[in-house]
Amino acid sequence: MSNFGSLAMVAAENPGAYLDTDDARGEGVLDVGDLATVERALIVTGYVVVSEELLHTLYDGPAPLRKDERWPPTWWDRYFGHA
């Protein structure tokens, strides 16, 4: 869940362990029924579910919380990064 607004991302195991939920399902580590249950619960409680793949795309705005400046910031840094 994001520190900024009502955004949530569902990941199998840890964020970044798989490219996205499709990849995790293909590897057999994420059950389609479980994913649907979690996403429904998030939506019912007011969250917007964002794909992990989308969060790894480049973000061109300021990212002052980015810890490692060797790589450009991503949307993950913008909405899910930690101080």
Task: Give the pLDDT confidence score for residue 65 in this predicted structure.
Answer: 63
Q: Where residue 8 falls among pLDDT bands split at 50, 70, 90?
A: very high
- pLDDT, one tens digit per residue, over 21-42 is 888 888 988 888 998 999 999 9
Structure tokens at 16: 């970044």
**Residue, of 71 and 26, whose pLDDT is higher:** 26
So what's the pLDDT on residue 33? 92
Could you tell me where the DSSP H helices lie in 1-83?
Answer: 21-26, 32-44, 52-55, 75-80
